[in-house]
Structure 1
Amino acid sequence: MSWFLHTFWTDTLALVSIIGALLALGHLLLRHRDYRSAAFWTALIVVEPLFSPLLYLFLGINILRRSGRRYRSGMHEPWHDPVPEYPLPITDSGSCTMQEHQQLARTLDRISRFSLTLGNHLEILRNGDEAMPRMLEVIRSAQQSITLASYIFEATGIGAEFVEALSAAVKRGVQVRVMVDDAGTRYSWPPVIEALEKAGVTVRRFMPSRLILRLITMNLRNHRKILVVDGRTAFTGGMNIREGNMVSRQPSHPVHDLHFEVTGPCVAQIQRVFAEDWAFCTLEQLEGPLWFPELNATGNTSALGIVDGPDEDLEVMPAAFFAALNAAREEVKIITPYFLPNMVLMAALRLCAVRGVKVTILTPGANNIPFVGWASQTLYPELLAVGCRIYESPAPFDHSKIFLVDGVWSFLGSTNWDPRSLRLNFEFNLACHDAELCRRLAEEMDAKLAHSREITQDMLDATPVSQRLRNGFARLFIPLL
C-alpha cells in the first residue's frame, strides 16, 4: 500500500510539474515581450520544472503587468490633456539646436498623457535637511487641501513630525488625503497607517492585499513621491519620508537625495496623478477648485508630467528616456541609485557615445542592495568601450535621480534606471526644459563627481576572479531586480 501511495504521489507531482511548466512556457512564448527575460525564465523552467512555474507566477513580469491593468480597470478613465497647438511652449535657450528641442518636446508631449506647460519654477532641495522642513512648513500653512503620497513613510523621527503636522491641519479644517504604498509600509515599525488614523488623518494603503493575492502583486508598487498643498505648491522627486534622509542628525543609515519644490501650471498635473491613484484606492473623486485652483506662471521652466506604471501607462518612462537619449547632441548626465537599464536604453547610451555625445553616469559605489551593485558592474565594460564615463560615489548611499540632456532638458522624479522602476512600479517624473535649472542640477552632479571614483577598464580587469564570478551570477537575475 505504501508503495502504491508513493508511486501515486510521485506520478501526480510529476504530472503537475509538467502541466505547470507547459503553461508557463506557453505564456512566455505568447506574451513575454523581453526576449532576454523570456530566455532566463525558459531556461529556469526547463532546468527546474517543479517550482519554477510558481516562481514565474509570483515574479513573472508579464503576469504582473496584466495584474496591474486589471487592478485599475473600470475604476476611472485616465486623465488626458487636450492636444495642444504647435509649436509647444518651450523657451528659446539661444541654442542652435532649438529645432531639435522642439522636436523632443513634441515627442514627449505625445508619449505622455500630459502636455508641456510654461511658467513653472522648481527649487532644488538637498537631502531631508532642506526638503523635510520646507515640506512641513508648507503643510503647516495649508488653508484648504493637502494630498500626500509616499512609498516609504516612517512613523518615527521626521515621520512623526509629518503625522503631527497633518493632524493639526485636519483639526483646523484642511481636507487631507494621504496614501502610502502597502509594500512600503513594511520598511518600518510601527506602521505609519495606524499613527495617521489615530491622528484623524484620512489615509489609505495602495494595493493592500493578503496571502496569495499579495504574492502575485507584490512587485506592483506605487513608488511615486507627491505632496501638493492647496493645489498650488507641490513637492516631488525621489525622497521618502524617513529619518535616514536627515543627514545632519547623523542617523544610523544616512541617505543622500534630491527633492524638488514646484510651483506653476504643472502642479495641476502632479495633483492629477495623486487624484487618479486616490480614486483607484477609494473611488473618491478629487475635483473642483479645492484641489485644482487656477494657477498662474511663477517662473520660466517648461514642464510636463510623465506617468508610468503597469497599467494604461505601461513603459511610458523608458520610451521618454529613449527619446531624450536619441535627441541628445552634446551631453548626457545621469545620476541613479540603481543602474540596470534595459537593452534598449543600453543601446541608446552606447549610440550616444558613438555619435560623440559626452555620457557621464554616477551610481553608488556601495549600494544599499549589494546584489544590484554587483549586477550593475557587469554592464560597465560595454559602456566604457565606447567612451562613456562611469563614476561610483562613496558612502553614504546616494538615492538621487536626475537625467540631464544637452544642458537644457532635465528629468527628475521617482524613476530609477532598473527593471523594477522601468517596468513594474507606478512612477512619476517631470520633464523640464530650462537651461538655468539644468545648469543648477549639473552643478549638483559635478559636486558629487568631485568626491567620486571614476571606473576604468583596467580597474575592472584587476577585479579578483571571485568577485567577477559573483557579479556574473548577479547579472543572471537582472530581469528580476
Structure 2
Amino acid sequence: MGSLKSLAEAYWPHLAFILGLAAGGTAAVHAAMTKHDVRAAIGWVGICLMSPLVGPFFYLIAGINRVRQEHISEERNRSLQDYFANPDLPEADIGDLGAPQFTSLRVLGDRVSRFPLRDDNRIQILRGGDEAYPAMIEAIEQAQKSVALQSYIFDNDRAGRAFVDALSRAHERGVEIRVLIDAVGSKYSHPPIIRLLRKQGIPCALFMTNPLGFMRMPYANLRSHRKILVIDGCTAFTGGMNIREGFVTDYAGEDTAIDTHFRVDGPVVLQLVAVFAHDWAYTTKEILPYQTWSCDAWRVPGPCAPARCIRSGPDRYLVGTHNMLLGALAVAQKHIRIQSPYFLPDQVLMGAINTAARRGIIVDIVIPGRNNLRLINYAMTAQLDQIIRTGCRVWRSRGNFNHSKLITIDGAWSYVGSSNLDPRSLRLNFELDMEIYSRETAGEIERLIEHEIENATLVSLESLAATPFRKRLRNRIIWLASPYL
C-alpha cells in the first residue's frame, strides 16, 4: 500500500496528463462524430483538446445532445397518437392565394412539419401585454375542463401573479390545469413563480431541470422557448411574448416593451395542445387524456385561414424553422418583410436573404433601436453590412424595445411564433411557430411592420463606417461568439 502511495505521489503529474489526454481525446472524438455543424464541432474539439480536464466536463454538461435520443417519439407512444391523427379534419386548400409559388412552399411544410395544413382557423393579432394578458386571463376564467400553459419566462411579478390568481380560481372550479415553465426562464424572477403555483396546488413542472440525473442544475444550453396557452382544447394563444409586467403599460409606464401575440381558434389548436402534451409527457411522464385536453368541433367566426404549427428544437425537429425560412425566401416574388429582436442569421440563412435581394425582391428587415440584450445588439451590428451590401433595407426602430418575431412573404404568407433569427433559436431552443396562408393576416402583420418602418432609421453602409473603430472592433469580437450567445 505504501509503495502504491509513493508511486502515486511521485508520478501524479504523469497520471493526470494521461487521464486528461484520455478524457479530452474521448470527448473530442465524440464531438467530431456527432456534431452536424462544423463550427460547433471545431469549437468543442478545441475546448476538449486545449483544456483536457475542464473541457470534457463542460462538454458532458452542455455539449452532448441527450434530448435527441431521449425525447419521446410520437410514433412509438400510442398514448399520444390521438393528438396527431384526426382523419376527420380536411386538409386546407390554398388555391385562393392565386400564387403558384405557395404550392411548393406548402409541400415543404408537409415535409418539415408532421402536422398537416388545416383550414378554418381564425387568427387574431394581440399587441403587447395590454391586449394579450386580459384576453388570456379572461379565457382562463371561462375554462370549463382544461388549461394548458407553457412559457419560457413566467415572472413572479404583478402580471405573473394575476395569471396565478386566475389559474387558482379555475383549479378551484375543478378545471384540469398543467403549467410548464423552462428551468432557465423560471430564474428571471426571485422567488420563482413555480413556488407560488405549488403553494396553490396547481400541477406544474420545470422543463429540462435535471438532465444528468444526479446534478440539480438546469441544462442551460437547451431551453423551451415555446409560448402556449390552450383553453378546453378549443382556443389557444401563442406567439413570442413571455409573462412579465414589462409588457404592461400600467406597470412599466414609458418603458413598456412591445410584442405581438396571437389568439387562435380552429383545428390548428389541436396541434398546439399536441406540442404541449408531448413536452409535458417528456418532462413529467404523465400522459394527458385526449378527451380532456382537446376538442373536435370549433365554432369559428370568419374570416378563416389555413395554418399549421412548425416545431423546431434539438430533437427530431432540428432546424425545422431554418428549413421553412430557406424555402420561403426562395419562393418570394415581390416583397419580404422581417421583424426580429435578435437578428443573427447564420451564413446559410444570410445567403438566402441576400440571394432574394439580388433577385430583385424588396427585403425590409426591422430590428430594435433599443435592445434589451447589449451583447446581441453588438453582434447584430457587426454583420449588418453583409446584408445591406446586397440591397436589403435594414431599419432600426425608434421607441421602446420591440420583441416581436414576424415574417411575411408577398403579402400572403406569414410566419409567426417564438423563434428568433439567431443561432440559439435556430439550433438549440425548443421553438414553436405557425405558418399562415392568408392575405388578410399578412396584411395586418405588414401594417404593423410598416408602422415600425415609418418611425425607424435606415441603416446605411456610411453610418456603419462612421462608427468609431473601437466600437466596430468590439462589435466584431462579440460577433465571433454569436453562435454561443
On the 8 A contact 2:277/2:287 being kept in 1, the answer is yes
Output the CA distance in 1 between the equivalents of 2:166 and 2:468.
52
The more displaced of 392-401 and 269-278 is 392-401
> Match of 2:179?
178
On the 8 A contact 2:29/2:45 being kept in 1, the answer is no
The more displaced of 128-137 and 46-55 is 46-55
Q: Between Structure 1 and Structure 2, how many residues are aligned?
A: 475
Indicate which of 456, 461, 466 corresponds to 2:460. Answer: 456
The more displaced of 414-423 and 375-384 is 375-384
Query: How far is the alpha carbon of 1:449 from its aligned partner?
Result: 1.6
Could you report, residue by residue, the CA deviation over 1:253-303 in whole angstroms, capped at 9, with x for unpaired residues?
Answer: 632111000111111111111111112222222233332212335432110
Confirm whether residue 329 of structure 1 aligns to residue 329 of structure 2: no
Normalising by the residue count of structure 1, what TM-score does the alignment of the two structures yield? 0.91
1:329/1:83 Cα in 2 relative to 1: closer, same or farther (>3 Å)? farther
Normalising by the residue count of structure 2, what TM-score does the alignment of the two structures yield? 0.91
Indicate which of 17, 21, 29 corresponds to 2:32. Answer: 29
Output the CA distance in 1 between the equivalents of 2:372 and 2:272.
29
1:105/1:274 Cα in 2 relative to 1: closer, same or farther (>3 Å)? same
The more displaced of 336-345 and 434-443 is 336-345
What pairs up with 1:406-425 in 2 under 5 angstroms? 406-425=410-429
5+ long unaligned stretches in structure 2: none
Confirm whether residue 389 of structure 1 aligns to residue 377 of structure 2: no
5+ long unaligned stretches in structure 1: none
What pairs up with 1:143-162 in 2 under 5 angstroms? 143-162=144-163
Output the CA distance in 1 between the equivalents of 2:12 and 2:401.
50
Output the CA distance in 2 between the equivalents of 1:149 and 1:293.
19
Indicate which of 324, 340, 344 corresponds to 1:340. Answer: 344
SS where residue 100 of structure 2 aligns?
A: helix
Output the CA distance in 1 between the equivalents of 2:202 and 2:288.
16
Output the CA distance in 1 between the equivalents of 2:455 and 2:277.
40
Query: How far is the alpha carbon of 1:361 from its aligned partner?
Result: 1.1
On the 8 A contact 1:326/1:348 being kept in 2, the answer is yes
Indicate which of 269, 273, 276 corresponds to 1:274. Answer: 276
Confirm whether residue 166 of structure 1 aligns to residue 170 of structure 2: no
What pairs up with 1:266-305 in 2 under 5 angstroms? 266-296=268-298, 297-298=300-301, 299-305=303-309
Confirm whether residue 116 of structure 1 aligns to residue 117 of structure 2: yes
Query: How far is the alpha carbon of 1:450 from its aligned partner?
Result: 1.8
Output the CA distance in 2 between the equivalents of 1:37 and 1:286.
36
Q: Which amino acid aligns with 1:474?
A: I
Output the CA distance in 1 between the equivalents of 2:186 and 2:89.
43
Could you report, residue by residue, the CA deviation over 1:107-160 in whole angstroms, capped at 9, with x for unpaired residues?
Answer: 112210100011111111111011001111111111121111111112220111
1:462/1:5 Cα in 2 relative to 1: closer, same or farther (>3 Å)? farther
Identical positions, percent: 37
Output the CA distance in 1 between the equivalents of 2:313 and 2:233.
24
Query: How far is the alpha carbon of 1:251 from its aligned partner?
Result: 5.3
On the 8 A contact 1:91/1:434 being kept in 2, the answer is no
SS where residue 124 of structure 1 aligns?
A: strand
> Match of 2:356?
352
Could you report, residue by residue, the CA deviation over 1:80-106 in whole angstroms, capped at 9, with x for unpaired residues?
Answer: 55799999522513x4xx221111112
The more displaced of 244-253 and 413-422 is 244-253
On the 8 A contact 1:147/1:177 being kept in 2, the answer is yes
Output the CA distance in 2 between the equivalents of 1:57 and 1:351.
39
Output the CA distance in 1 between the equivalents of 2:157 and 2:188.
12
Output the CA distance in 2 between the equivalents of 1:440 and 1:19.
58
> Match of 1:17?
20
> Match of 1:59?
62
1:278/1:48 Cα in 2 relative to 1: closer, same or farther (>3 Å)? closer
Indicate which of 348, 356, 378 corresponds to 2:382. Answer: 378
The more displaced of 107-116 and 30-39 is 30-39
1:137/1:82 Cα in 2 relative to 1: closer, same or farther (>3 Å)? closer
Output the CA distance in 2 between the equivalents of 1:83 and 1:250.
47
> Match of 1:258?
260
Query: How far is the alpha carbon of 1:467 from its aligned partner?
Result: 1.1
